[in-house]
Structure 1
Amino acid sequence: MTPETLAEKVLSATRDAFEALGLDAAVLPAQTAVERPRDPKHGDYASNIALQTAKKAGTNPRALAEKITELLAAADGVAKVDIAGPGFLNITLDAAAAGEIAGQIVKAGPAYGDNGSMAGHHVNLEFVSANPTGPVHIGAVRWAAVGDALARVMRASGAKVTSEYYFNDAGSQIDNFTASLLASAKGEPTPENGYGGAYIDEIAAEVVAKRPGILDAEDPRELFRQDGVALMFAEIKADLEEFGTHFDVYFNEKDLHDKGELDAALERLTALGHVFEADGAVWLRTTTFGDDKDRVVKNSKGGWTYFAADCAYYLDKRERGFDKLVFMLGADHHGYIGRMKAMSRAFGDEPGTIEILIGQLVNLVRDGKPVRLSKRAGNMITLNDVVDAVGVDAARYALARYSSDSSIDLDIELWTRNSSDNPVYYVQYAHARTSAVLRNAAERGVAKGESYDAALLTHERESDLLKALAEFPAVVATAAELREPHRIARYAEELAGSYHRFQHDCRVLPVGDEEPTDRNRARLWVVDATRTVLANALGMLGVSAPERM
């Protein structure tokens, strides 16, 4: 029995209790939930529904809990219900009902964990979005891991998700990048505000090789801009794909200008009455919607501002049919939150339409000290540096394991260690152990069969593991709702711990010449279910689930 199924039984018993006591069922919630108590002695699950609804219904919580207990205790799969304190329900399942979850998981396979908590939502998830002036740096690498994991988690929760990368191949940063390439090709020092590092020399040499005589061209700067940006962006895309991060859409800011979308956005905001002119500039009155100051859309020289492009890009996404727009920005973008949310409201959208997630800094650490410089990029740590240091799996897991609003010291020694204190190794090793047990069972001719006797799964370690397995869909739904994929990693570690304890205390396969028993077969179902959930959890993080280690 899953927690969701039990919660439905609790709510059904509560409805019946309300009817029996003559209470108004209109105060009941549309759905409820059950939780695992901290102390296993208090049962398998707990519910506070009596406390939650009694006051609204004008009755005593304890009296309501007693009636719910009477009805719930008679439900299939419920062994007993105890009342604690003023009306908490502590519920114990019978072994057969608790053990059924293993079969349900094996049957569902890769789909186990999927849920409909975000069904009906069309989400645009934008992350990384670094301009093509250099390799992906370590801050953006964090979003490459977290953003991709979040997209997977939201899709598993029923949302239609488009992952998007927004870039700009114009502006001062690109001008500085172009000047740096040209200087390198000429053998000149890096210009002021330019970009250094071996990658500049590599790209410049590649452009020169592609266009012999480019330095004698009438406008070599423009040629270096075109080819240099194309080469840099191709490298960025390739690096992200090798990291396992896929984008459905690459969107160029230039398209907004070419298609007249900035004018269209300004016209829309003007029609809504939120645009005014002052000091020769055109402004959006964002203070009406909680911003700390109004924002310039066109400057006094008639030029568009970056904020104008933000407005046009937002409107473009909305007109593509997205009802939720999630922007994942770097640690230096806190100031964007107020203006972006105010801009969304200016377009007439509800507050929840736009979400701004801010990621904190990441340090690559070796021997307890931050690694400062890249061998190739010179003044930054890049995606390839992180992968070279710890590998793709460890990098993705480490970067997605922590809440994005906390900074990370990514310790090279820890994340390359083949021991239980390395979280990704600990989880992957648990999956490899499940695979080894199933492989050994097949080699010895011990089949789990088409079904099993769930009532035999009575050991404390079996019970703990089964309850942990049953929680996975709810963990996925919560991770999606809160935009916190790190919950998947922490769950996977707890599940791995439950499995290691189970395998230590519960003999799965017969020893020597012993004949396999129904208990052996039932435990094989639990092992197979654990393998499935560990693989699904790792998959949501974009991390492999090895069968051998």
Structure 2
Amino acid sequence: MTPADLSRTVLRAVRRAVDEDALRAPVPARVRVERTRPGGSGDYACAVALQLAGPAGLPARGVAEILRERVAGAPGIGRVEITGPGFLNFTLDATTGAETRAARVREARELGLRYGRVTTEAGRLQRLHHPREIRAAVLAQSVARLLRTQGGQVIVSCTEEPGPRWEELGVRTGPHPGAEETEKTVESAGIRAVPAGATAGALVDRLGRDAALWGLQRPAAHDHAPLGDDLLVQGETNPLFLVRYAHARARALTREAARLGLTAGYDTDVDAPALHTALADHPGVLATAARLHAPDRVARHLETVADAFLDFHGTTPPLPVGDEKPSAAHRSRLALAEAAGTVLAGGLFVLGIHAPPHV
């Protein structure tokens, strides 16, 4: 069960409770579930009961009890607990884990860059505006791409004329809208960040496009963006290098497998829990980063995926070694590697960064 599946399951429970008149509250458009924080209970947590308590005129734990009765026993859910003031905590059913992992790997390989995209915000027109500063401009472009992964329509504008050489960092922006045009948008939001302290041209000349984009976006917008030469280091101390290297290794495995006549197919479950978790988290990371206007969350998630993939690659070779003959296990490992490469490419695309097949 993916986070999206769990979210839909909880939302169905809310609708059922309302239909049965056990809960008198408006049904939300969506329900957000998140990975349980360290020290928490279960695999995922949801605060929908706290959200509905006020409109329902009930204590949050009472709402949680109503929902737990309607979620417990659903396919893929092993246990449902109520913690704190009314959080629902879900432990997934391990017996369905292998099937869920297989479905996720296949989905990622089939959808490619569209993996993790939804249509939650379909038809919603949003405008982002930012000051005449390159870091804010770059963040606005990535926030727009994130909102589009959720199905939204986005227009980006600058409060003044764009700066010189902004296009070299992928910035495409229109003029600031007049009052009449602004009224047509469902939502208008300003994108601000601690200034980069350098011009687009200076950053591109010194770091190149991709390293500059990573350096501007990896820290949270309210933090200073370190833009030193360490962004150019070709080694494990540089997170950007590791992310791009992991993507290149995944693509290299596909090329080498083709040379060996080996095709990918997730036929047997692969023991790589960290990598499976990272792939499962990808849709939720996109949704949260879009909601919070926080591309830095995508960058950090890519580091997690890269680390998990490189550990998997080092301990469980996807391709035959020495005199080893290709097997179903190799086919499955290769499929998992290709899914990881897809997530890395998709995340880099959101950040406007090239995902090279070679490093």
Q: TM-score range by the shorter chain?
A: 0.7 to 0.9
- Whether the 8 Å contact between 1:96 and 1:453 is mirrored in structure 2 is no
Pick the structure with greater CA Rg: 1
- Whether the 8 Å contact between 1:475 and 1:491 is mirrored in structure 2 is yes
Alpha carbon RMSD of aligned pairs, Å? 3.3
Question: In 2, Cα distance between the equivalents of 1:542 and 1:529?
Answer: 20
1:526 deviates by 1.4
Secondary structure, in 3 states, of the residue corresponding to 1:426? helix
Tell me the TM-score normalized by structure 1: 0.57
In the alignment, is residue 361 of structure 1 matched against residue 195 of structure 2? yes
- Whether the 8 Å contact between 2:18 and 2:24 is mirrored in structure 1 is no
1:160 deviates by 1.6
1:411 deviates by 1.6
**Structure 2 letter corresponding to 1:434:** A
Q: Which residue of 2 aligns with 1:115?
A: 118
Q: Which residue of 2 aligns with 1:515?
A: 325
Q: What CA deviation, in whole Å up to 9, does each residue of 1:1-35 have, x standing for no partner?
A: 3211122224445666898xx76133485343333
Tell me the TM-score normalized by structure 2: 0.83
Q: Which residue of 2 aligns with 1:203?
A: none
- Whether the 8 Å contact between 1:34 and 1:46 is mirrored in structure 2 is yes
Q: What CA deviation, in whole Å up to 9, does each residue of 1:176-215 have, x standing for no partner?
A: xxxxxxxxxxxxxxxxxxxxxxxxxxxxxxxxxxxxxxxx
**Structure 2 letter corresponding to 1:112:** Y
- Whether the 8 Å contact between 1:50 and 1:64 is mirrored in structure 2 is no
1:533 deviates by 1.1
Match for 1:525 among 335, 340, 346?
A: 335
Alignment of 1:203-282 (within 5 A): 239-247=165-173, 249-250=174-175
Match for 1:322 among 185, 205, 209?
A: 185
Q: What CA deviation, in whole Å up to 9, does each residue of 1:362-394 have, x standing for no partner?
A: 34xxxxxxxxxxxxxxxxx43222112211101
Q: What CA deviation, in whole Å up to 9, does each residue of 1:78-122 have, x standing for no partner?
A: 4x2264757853322422123311111111112123223433322
Q: Which residue of 2 aligns with 1:3?
A: 3
Question: In 1, Cα distance between the equivalents of 2:340 and 2:347?
Answer: 11
Q: Which residue of 1 aligns with 2:79?
A: 81
- Whether the 8 Å contact between 1:112 and 1:533 is mirrored in structure 2 is yes
1:68 deviates by 4.6
1:240 deviates by 2.2
**Structure 2 letter corresponding to 1:246:** R
Q: Which residue of 2 aligns with 1:395?
A: 212
Q: Which residue of 2 aligns with 1:499?
A: 309
In the alignment, is residue 469 of structure 1 matched against residue 279 of structure 2? yes
Q: Which residue of 1 aligns with 2:152?
A: 159
Q: Which residue of 1 aligns with 2:35?
A: 36
Q: Which residue of 2 aligns with 1:409?
A: 226
**Structure 2 letter corresponding to 1:161:** V
Q: What CA deviation, in whole Å up to 9, does each residue of 1:349-368 have, x standing for no partner?
A: xxxxxx333322334xxxxx
Q: Which residue of 2 aligns with 1:310?
A: none
Q: What CA deviation, in whole Å up to 9, does each residue of 1:211-232 have, x standing for no partner?
A: xxxxxxxxxxxxxxxxxxxxxx
Q: How many residues align?
A: 350
Q: What CA deviation, in whole Å up to 9, does each residue of 1:123-160 have, x standing for no partner?
A: 3333354xxxxxxxxxx221232122122222222222
Secondary structure, in 3 states, of the residue corresponding to 1:35? strand
Q: Which residue of 1 aligns with 2:129?
A: 126
Q: What CA deviation, in whole Å up to 9, does each residue of 1:480-522 have, x standing for no partner?
A: 2222222211111122122222223333222233332222222
- Whether the 8 Å contact between 2:130 and 2:192 is mirrored in structure 1 is no
In the alignment, is residue 90 of structure 1 matched against residue 16 of structure 2? no
1:397 deviates by 1.0
- Whether the 8 Å contact between 1:13 and 1:71 is mirrored in structure 2 is no
